[in-house]
Amino acid sequence: MAYQNLLVSFAEGIARITLNRPDRLNSFTAAMHAEMRQALADLHRRADLRVLILAGAGRGFCAGQDLQDRAVLAGAEAPDLGASIEKNYAPLILALRALPAPVIAKVNGVAAGAGANLALACDLVIAARSASFIQAFCKIGLIPDTGGTLFLPQLVGTARAMGLALLGEKLGAPQAEQWGLIWKCVDDEKLDEEVDALARHFAAAPTKALARTKEAIQAASNRALADQLALEANIQRELGRGEDYREGVAAFMAKRAPRFRGD
Ligand code: T3D
């Protein structure tokens, strides 16, 4: 497949997928989702996969859903966000988590909304010191999705998960590491080197044992993840029809502060 929104490569057991819409901070469109489905399906078929590196092109990792695709005129029909999650985001997370080889998120810059939770769905997150994580959903009248309602409390506990989700503030990579949200934060200029070294390590590791390790660790939360993804889709479907969501998206696109009514 010729990819328009991703850079995909494979060499010596190391797969690389780079989200490649840098002028929109690698935010997700339906086309990018379709390409991710294809790329991950191809990797699921490869017996020689030893590790996947998921990265973002340009200055950001991923800004979640492309909100340009969500801007609707007053009076026009609201998008069905539940359907979008069921078709795109939930299968993406499940396919990524089901890869037997380790998946490294290489977070070079901002990871926001679904982009943040996509990173958290990976097995190891290595972020540049200048990178950040933002549960941006509340800024546009939504809840954390893409598994965030499970990953956040699992990783940092309920108190911090609530703070991150309800405030939507930027969490810098050093604090994310301190809180246990991510595996490691490294100096910006060392990010490529560190991630490549880790990938080479995994490419020479006992892949089957690592796959079974992932299987065992994930087993306890697999059911919970499926349930949370379904719950997130249902709540997002409802919120996506609301005035506050419409206003949140309109305000983001117009680069102004939102005027939420609270309903
Ligand atoms: O809809 C569904 O299917 C349901 C599922 C939803 C999942 C979600 O992810 S909902 C959450 C969506 N994402 C966001 O709300 C984040 C929106 N982005 C931001 O808040 C900020 O861009 C960042 C905090 C991530 C970065 O800020 P900053 O100041 O570093 O960059 P910027 O200037 O805001 O963005 C740079 C450009 O990317 C800018 O375009 P311009 O002015 O240069 O032409 C900006 O509009 C564009 N951009 C950034 N994020 C998005 C985006 N364009 C479309 N969609 C985006 N999500």
State which of 107, 137, 252 you would mutate to test the pocket of ligand 1, scoring each by most atoms of that ligand within 8 A of its C-beta.
252
Q: Is residue 129 in a domain?
A: yes
- Cα 69 to ligand 1 centre (Å): 11
Give the per-residue pLDDT at 76: 82
Q: Is residue 47 in a domain?
A: yes
Q: Is residue 104 in a domain?
A: yes
The residue contributing the CA closest to ligand 1 atom 29 is 110
The residue contributing the CA closest to ligand 1 atom 24 is 112
The 3-state DSSP class for residue 112 equals strand
Average pLDDT, the chain: 97
The residue contributing the CA closest to ligand 1 atom 22 is 63
The closest-lying atom of ligand 1 relative to the alpha carbon of residue 110 is 25
The closest-lying atom of ligand 1 relative to the alpha carbon of residue 67 is 55
Q: Is residue 213 in a domain?
A: no
Q: Is residue 203 in a domain?
A: no
By residue range, what is the domain housing residue 109?
6-189
| CA pair distance 157, 165, nearest whole angstrom | 12
- Cα 191 to ligand 1 centre (Å): 23
Burial 103-123, CB ≥16 within 10 A → b, else e: bbbbbbbbbbbbbbbbbbbbb
Walk across the sheet containing 184-186 and list its strands.
Answer: 6-11, 14-19, 51-56, 103-107, 124-128, 184-186
Could you tell me the pTM of the whole model?
0.98
- Cα 141 to ligand 1 centre (Å): 14
* CATH number, domain with residue 49: 3.90.226.10
For residue 19, the surrounding DSSP H or E stretch is strand 14-19
Q: Is residue 198 in a domain?
A: no
Tens-place pLDDT, residues 4-60? 999 999 999 999 999 999 999 999 999 999 999 999 999 999 999 999 999 999 999
- Cα 75 to ligand 1 centre (Å): 24
The residue contributing the CA closest to ligand 1 atom 30 is 110
Among residues 263, 262, 254, the alpha carbon closest in space to that of 67 is found at 254
Among residues 47, 48, 18, 51, the alpha carbon closest in space to that of 35 is found at 18
The closest-lying atom of ligand 1 relative to the alpha carbon of residue 255 is 46
The pLDDT of 138-148, averaged and rounded, is 98
First to last CA, the chain: 44
Q: Give the number of domains in the chain.
A: 1
Residues 6+ apart with CB under 8 A from 88: 28, 30, 33
Q: Where would I find the H helices in 58-187? A: 81-84, 90-97, 114-120, 148-156, 158-167, 173-179
- Number of other CB atoms surrounding residue 189 within 10 Å: 9
Q: Is residue 52 in a domain?
A: yes
Tokens 């007053």 found at: 74
Q: Is residue 32 in a domain?
A: yes
Q: How far is CA 246 from CA 66, 145, 197, 250, 258, in A?
A: 14, 17, 44, 6, 10
The 3-state DSSP class for residue 123 equals coil
Tens-place pLDDT, residues 73-128? 777 889 999 999 999 999 999 999 999 999 999 999 999 999 999 999 999 999 99
Tens-place pLDDT, residues 164-215? 999 999 999 999 999 999 999 999 999 999 999 999 999 999 999 999 999 9
- Cα 200 to ligand 1 centre (Å): 33
The closest-lying atom of ligand 1 relative to the alpha carbon of residue 145 is 7
| CA pair distance 124, 140, nearest whole angstrom | 28
DSSP symbol at 85: I
List pocket residues of ligand 1, CB cut-off 6 Å.
24-25, 27, 63-68, 70, 81, 84-85, 89, 110, 112-114, 134, 136-137, 139-140, 142, 145, 236, 252
